Structure 1
Amino acid sequence: MKIGLHIADFTYPSGPAALADDLTRIAVTAEEQGFARVSVMDHLWQISVVGPTEHDMLEAYTTLGYLAARTEKVELLAWVTAVSYRDPGLLAKLVTTLDVLSKGRAWLGIGAAWNGEEADGLGLFFPPTAERFERLEETLDICLQMWSDSDAPFEGKHYRLGRTLNVPQSLQRPHPPILIGGGGEKKTLRLVAKYAQACNLFPGPELEHKLDVLRGHCEAVGRDYDEIEKTVMMPLDPGADGEKVDELLAAVQGFAKLGVSEVHGFVPEVADLKRLKVLGREVIPAAAEL
């Protein structure tokens, strides 16, 4: 079992002037403590489950490029890219650039997007749900074509590319791994079975059922269920002094029994580094044994 860090809050005591330094300390400490991945949200306003809308938020791919220069081992991704915020050709180029500059550590994390308020506020393209899912599948097809040996045109319902040239190519071959976020049983998990190297689900009583649904989609498309990495997103709070470690480890052990191979999450008060070090000392080594 791996543990990943989701950096979702950028409002730190030192303020924006020290944000670059704070991010460096967080990412370097996470790498030193054995976190497998570091992710950021693809949001432009803070989301309500983390804090007020007016709290600090950084653009995802600029931030990931910065983190690539500050780290050496952790895998990097947006958790997850809103499909409608960037055209597919640009998105493939962004992830390829991140992969090249991080020396092969980029993932494409992607989903159908959900924050209509944010999109409306900033004038971003945000079509209805059914269309966003259609665009999600076309985007996956385009990215895979751009990561292939073909630079042929692409003609889809929503996107038309005259030449899918992508130079330099990603260092990871045949392409950077793809994680699709969401637990929608009819569309999202079907796309996971068809395209992804990893899924992302949430803890709760439906988790085992969602995994069974994914297994069914894999059987339907002839995909090996076991080759898809199962991840769970949840808060990672061991307590500043380790007082919640046993509770957290019990949850991680339960997920491992279901076949989950990574727990990925937001660490409270991450800028003070205490909880990151507790996780590195008490949780990550124990999880690695599961």
Structure 2
Amino acid sequence: MRIGIQIPSFTYPGGQEQIAPIFARVARDADQGGLASLWVMDHFFQIRGVGAAEEPMLEGYSALSYAAAITERITLGTMVTGVVYRYPGILVKTVTTLDVLSGGRAWFGVGAAWNAEESAGLGVPFPPVAERFEQLEETLRIAKRMWAGDESPFEGKHYRLERPLNSPPAVSRPHPRILIGGGGEKKTLRLVARYADATNLFDSPELPHKLDVLREHCAREGRAYGDIEKTVLSVLSADSTAGQLEDVVGRLGEHGVDQVIFSARQPHLPNAVPLLADLAAKVA
């Protein structure tokens, strides 16, 4: 079992001047504390359920590049990039850059997108959900092709790339790990079985059923279920205790979860990262 941390909020004591030093401290402490992964949301407005849209939100890949420069071991990813945010070739180039500069520590976290509010606010096209899933599958095909060094033209329904050149290539072999977020049973989990190295699901009562659905998709795709890393997003609250976190990990481990990623709404609190570091040492 591995333990990761997601940082979904940049609302810290001291205002925006403290965002960089606090984020840096959390990233370094997570790295030195033995956590497996560090994640940020790829959103441009803060999302409902975490805070008001007007609260501070950093651009995901800029934040991860900053984290890459001050860490040594921890893997880095977005949880997850909405497929509508960037053209696929540019997105693959962005993830590759993070992978090269971090020495092979990048994840490619991606999903079909859901936040129409920020897309409308910033002028990003936000097509209907069926079209977004088509875009997601084409993006995954393009990523696989570019990371394989295939520069031949790509002609899809939504994207046309005349020469998908990707130089320098990624350091990770065979490519940065692909994680698809979401638990949609007909489309999302099918795409996980077909293209991904990992799935990310919520810590909810539906989790066992979602994993069973993924197993069925793997059988249909001729994919070994065990080849896919099962990650689950849980919550680290201000009053979480070591015992509670151990119970969460134990319960999820019984379902075959490989990595639990705790969303730390207040990562600046002194006990946040140490709690997870102690947990990581116990379950390693």
Measured against aligned partners, the alpha-carbon deviations of 1:37-84 in whole angstroms (never above 9, x if no partner) come to 001001001011111111100001111111110111000001100000
Structure 1: which 5+ residue stretches go unaligned?
none
Q: Are the equivalent residues in 1 in contact too, given 2:5–2:261 (CA < 8 A)?
A: yes
- Using the TM superposition, give the Cα deviation of residue 149 of structure 1 relative to its aligned residue in structure 2, in angstroms: 2.5
Task: Give, in whole Å, the separation in 2 of the partners of 1:84 and 1:53.
Answer: 19
Matches for 1:191-230 after TM superposition, within 5 Å: 191-230=191-230
Task: Give, in whole Å, the separation in 2 of the partners of 1:55 and 1:114.
Answer: 19
Q: Are the equivalent residues in 1 in contact too, given 2:237–2:266 (CA < 8 A)?
A: no
Task: Give, in whole Å, the separation in 2 of the partners of 1:204 and 1:163.
Answer: 43
Task: Give, in whole Å, the separation in 2 of the partners of 1:222 and 1:97.
Answer: 32
Q: Are the equivalent residues in 2 in contact too, given 1:238–1:248 (CA < 8 A)?
A: no
Q: How many residues align?
A: 284
Measured against aligned partners, the alpha-carbon deviations of 1:146-192 in whole angstroms (never above 9, x if no partner) come to 11121100000000000011000000121111000000000000000
- Using the TM superposition, give the Cα deviation of residue 274 of structure 1 relative to its aligned residue in structure 2, in angstroms: 1.6
Q: Are the equivalent residues in 2 in contact too, given 1:29–1:273 (CA < 8 A)?
A: no
Task: Give, in whole Å, the separation in 2 of the partners of 1:55 and 1:79.
Answer: 19
Instruction: Determine the structure 2 residue equivalent to 1:92.
Output: 92
Task: Give, in whole Å, the separation in 2 of the partners of 1:287 and 1:137.
Answer: 35
Of the candidates 253, 261, 265, which is equivalent to residue 250 of structure 2? Answer: 253
Q: Are the equivalent residues in 1 in contact too, given 2:8–2:265 (CA < 8 A)?
A: no
Q: Are the equivalent residues in 1 in contact too, given 2:50–2:265 (CA < 8 A)?
A: no
Greater mean alpha carbon deviation, residues 265-274 or residues 15-24: 265-274
Task: Give, in whole Å, the separation in 2 of the partners of 1:180 and 1:196.
Answer: 6
Q: Are the equivalent residues in 1 in contact too, given 2:238–2:266 (CA < 8 A)?
A: no
Structure 2: which 5+ residue stretches go unaligned?
none
Q: Are the equivalent residues in 2 in contact too, given 1:237–1:248 (CA < 8 A)?
A: no
Identity of aligned residues (%): 53
Task: Give, in whole Å, the separation in 1 of the partners of 2:238 and 2:163.
Answer: 49
**SS in structure 2 of the partner of residue 200 of structure 1:** strand
1:273 aligns with 2:270: yes
Q: Are the equivalent residues in 1 in contact too, given 2:83–2:112 (CA < 8 A)?
A: yes
Amino acid at match of 2:277: G
Task: Give, in whole Å, the separation in 2 of the partners of 1:238 and 1:211.
Answer: 29
Greater mean alpha carbon deviation, residues 247-256 or residues 220-229: 247-256
Matches for 1:40-119 after TM superposition, within 5 Å: 40-119=40-119
Task: Give, in whole Å, the separation in 2 of the partners of 1:38 and 1:46.
Answer: 18
- Using the TM superposition, give the Cα deviation of residue 238 of structure 1 relative to its aligned residue in structure 2, in angstroms: 7.3
Measured against aligned partners, the alpha-carbon deviations of 1:174-231 in whole angstroms (never above 9, x if no partner) come to 1111000000000000000000010011112211010000000000010000010001
**Structure-1-length-normalised TM-score:** 0.95
Task: Give, in whole Å, the separation in 2 of the partners of 1:145 and 1:49.
Answer: 36
- Using the TM superposition, give the Cα deviation of residue 272 of structure 1 relative to its aligned residue in structure 2, in angstroms: 2.8
Task: Give, in whole Å, the separation in 2 of the partners of 1:231 and 1:187.
Answer: 18
Instruction: Determine the structure 2 residue equivalent to 1:231.
Output: 231
Amino acid at match of 1:47: I
Instruction: Determine the structure 1 residue equivalent to 2:32.
Output: 32
**SS in structure 1 of the partner of residue 223 of structure 2:** coil
Amino acid at match of 1:278: L
Greater mean alpha carbon deviation, residues 92-101 or residues 44-53: 44-53
Amino acid at match of 1:275: A
